Amino acid sequence: MTTTQRFATTCIHAGQQPDLLSGALMTPVYFTSTYIQEGLNQHRGYEYARTRNPTRDAVEGNLAALEGAEFGVAFASGLAATQAVLELLSSGDHLVLGDNVYGGTFRLVDKIMSRFGLTYTQVDTSDLAALRAAIQPHTKLVMLETPTNPMLGLTDIEAVRGLLKELGAPAILAVDNTFATPFNQRPLELGADLVFHSTTKYLNGHSDSIGGVVVTNSAELSERLHFIQNAAGAILSPMESWLVLRGTKTLHLRMERHNANALQIARWLEQRKDLKSVYYPGLESHPQHELAKRQMKGFSGIVSFDTGDAERTRRMAATFKIFALAESLGGVESLICHPVSMTHGSVPEGDRAKLGITDSLLRLSVGVEDVRDLIEDLEQALKA
Ligand SMILES: *Cc1c(COP(=O)(O)O)cnc(C)c1O
């Protein structure tokens, strides 16, 4: 891979080369647990498949390149990747966590990692004054998401990097880029140290695998993450690695359509008179639209809207014909989610209310179908 390659070419080729044995153009799925050694201490870099697998190597190289990173480390799920990032810390360290991060991320920190002596502060990372106040001398990690789920709030990554620098804080800045994808936003270029993903969502893109990845330009962090990957063992399987590789070959095409469909739907929803609010960073009415334009190339496929009427929302949820009522996001097919009763059920009611996650809120994962069919589906559901 040359550094001058454009994104679409990187999607299709990075990390991969024709199979050395057969010339197979597509990376084989290496279903093996071990590798023959020619003699004592003589092998081809592969000894045991928890440590290294050629299919996983390929997807790690591919995903790293997409984020403009040198190193990638793939895990069994997005949360396994998140846990590996947290395992860079030690007992007694403090971390700052966005106040609207993925529920599973909060649960992992609050219910598991905190039992091992990590302390944390949750804060609205878009509020630099609040973030400044949350940083302590022993803060070793700032972990944030932008855009957030399901409220689509943004954090200025460059500004957070600037703040950490100004404070001389030794904290690693880690950004969950699952919602934006590297097609739309490249946090490493904005000053993040680590970017992590649930590949389950847009990177794989077909709702048929669970996986995660952490990428970085720091050789030191990469080495420590590979150590954790091997020592703790939450690796991405060869089959899942192959599925993600297949997925990223069309990432640029899918994201173009996700971006376009979602923007059109957000605009269509916004001009209706019967909705209380529409949340989408690509709308001029989004309070951080200027930041969105500066930080993102496109605004991705998630749109949330609030009917202002919980009864109506609950009635609507089951009337869609194309949008499937389901958790998750980022696949080619459109999904609809009622956060309060689905993804955000475990968030305490008071916290939900503070974030704006009401009973009357719906979140769309806009797929790559014909947008006219999606709008017709929304129209009939809004009438129901
Ligand atoms: C889904 C998701 C995760 C967790 O990923 P899994 O693959 O489900 O473990 C983390 N962060 C975000 C933003 C997600 O959407």
Ligand 1 center from residue 102 Cα (angstroms): 7
> Does 91 share its domain with 211?
yes
Per-residue pLDDT for the chain (384 aa), expressed as one digit of tens each? 455 789 999 999 999 999 999 999 999 999 999 999 999 999 999 999 999 999 999 999 999 999 999 999 999 999 999 999 999 999 999 999 999 999 999 999 999 999 999 999 999 999 999 999 999 999 999 999 999 999 999 999 999 999 999 999 999 999 999 999 999 999 999 999 999 999 999 999 999 999 999 999 999 999 999 999 999 999 999 999 999 999 999 999 999 999 999 999 999 999 999 999 999 999 999 999 999 999 999 999 999 999 999 999 999 998 999 999 999 999 999 999 999 999 888 788 888 988 999 999 999 999 999 999 999 999 999 998
Active-site choice (56, 201, 352, 363):
201
Separation between Cα atoms, residue 103 and residue 101, nearest integer Å = 6
50 is catalytic: yes
Separation between Cα atoms, residue 147 and residue 299, nearest integer Å = 9
99 in contact with ligand 1, CB cutoff 6 A = no
Give the pairing of strands 212-216 and 194-198: antiparallel
Task: Assess contact for 247 and 203: CB atoms under 8 A.
Answer: yes
pLDDT the model gives residue 347: 83
pLDDT the model gives residue 351: 87
Task: Assess contact for 198 and 85: CB atoms under 8 A.
Answer: no
Longest pairwise C-alpha distance within the chain: 75
Final residue belonging to a domain, choices 226, 248, 270: 248
Residue whose token pair is 């703040």: 163
309 is catalytic: no
200 in contact with ligand 1, CB cutoff 6 A = yes
Give the pairing of strands 277-279 and 302-306: antiparallel
> Does 210 share its domain with 280?
no
Do the domain assignments include residue 1?
no
Final residue belonging to a domain, choices 248, 272, 299: 248
Q: What is the CATH number of the domain that holds 348?
A: 3.90.1150.10
Residue nearest to atom 5 of ligand 1 (CA): 78
Do the domain assignments include residue 37?
yes
Do the domain assignments include residue 176?
yes
> Does 104 share its domain with 182?
yes
pLDDT the model gives residue 42: 95
Token digits for 375? 């709008």
pLDDT the model gives residue 3: 56
330 in contact with ligand 1, CB cutoff 6 A = no
Query: What residues make up the domain containing 102?
Result: 7-248
Give which of 27, 19, 25, 15 is closest to 60, Cα–Cα.
Answer: 15
Index of the ligand 1 atom closest to the CA of residue 81: 9
19 is catalytic: no
Q: How many domains are contained in the chain?
A: 2
78 in contact with ligand 1, CB cutoff 6 A = yes
201 in contact with ligand 1, CB cutoff 6 A = yes
Task: Assess contact for 176 and 105: CB atoms under 8 A.
Answer: yes
Do the domain assignments include residue 2?
no
Could you read off the pLDDT of 78-127 as tens digits, one per residue? 999 999 999 999 999 999 999 999 999 999 999 999 999 999 999 999 99
Give which of 28, 11, 9, 5 is closest to 247, Cα–Cα.
Answer: 11
> Does 300 share its domain with 238?
no
Residue nearest to atom 7 of ligand 1 (CA): 78
Do the domain assignments include residue 239?
yes
> Does 227 share its domain with 358?
no
pLDDT the model gives residue 348: 85
> Does 239 share its domain with 297?
no
> Does 84 share its domain with 106?
yes
Do the domain assignments include residue 372?
yes
Separation between Cα atoms, residue 274 and residue 268, nearest integer Å = 12
> Does 164 share its domain with 144?
yes
Residue nearest to atom 4 of ligand 1 (CA): 78
Q: What is the CATH number of the domain that holds 94?
A: 3.40.640.10
Do the domain assignments include residue 223?
yes
Do the domain assignments include residue 76?
yes
145 in contact with ligand 1, CB cutoff 6 A = yes
Residues 6+ apart with CB under 8 A from 159: 128
Ligand 1 center from residue 177 Cα (angstroms): 10
> Does 172 share its domain with 260?
no
102 is catalytic: yes
> Does 322 share its domain with 228?
no
Final residue belonging to a domain, choices 189, 223, 248: 248
Integer angstrom CA distances of residue 98 from 17, 106, 155: 39, 9, 9
Angle at 101 between CA 109 and CA 194, to 5 degrees: 80
